[in-house]
Amino acid sequence: MIIKLILLGIEIAFLTFLTSSFERKHPTLREKNRRPTLPYVKLITFVIVLVVLFMAGDYVFNKLSPLLNLVFVFSLCSFPQVISGLFSTVK
C-alpha cells in the first residue's frame, strides 16, 4: 500500500509539473487569469474522483495491469483540472 501511495504522489507531482509548464507557455490560460463559470467545480470533481477511486480502487490496484493502473489513476488526477478548465473563461 505504501508503494501505491508513493506512485500516486509521483503522478500528482508530474501532473503539477505539466500544468505549470503549460501555463508558463500559455500565460493567458493560467489559473489566476481564468474566471470559473460554475462555483466550486474543482471541489465537486475532486469529490467525484475520490468516490470513484474508493469504489473502484480495489479492482484497479489488484486486477488491472500496472500500465492500465497508471493510466487510470493519472486520468483521475487530471480530471478536476480539465473539468475546471472547461467551465472557465478568460478574465
pLDDT along the chain (91 residues), means of 10: 76 79 73 74 82 76 73 77 76 71
Grid cell, residue 22, equals 503549460
pLDDT of residue 66: 73
pLDDT of residue 28: 66
pLDDT of residue 29: 65
Distance separating alpha carbons of residues 83 and 65, to the nearest angstrom: 27
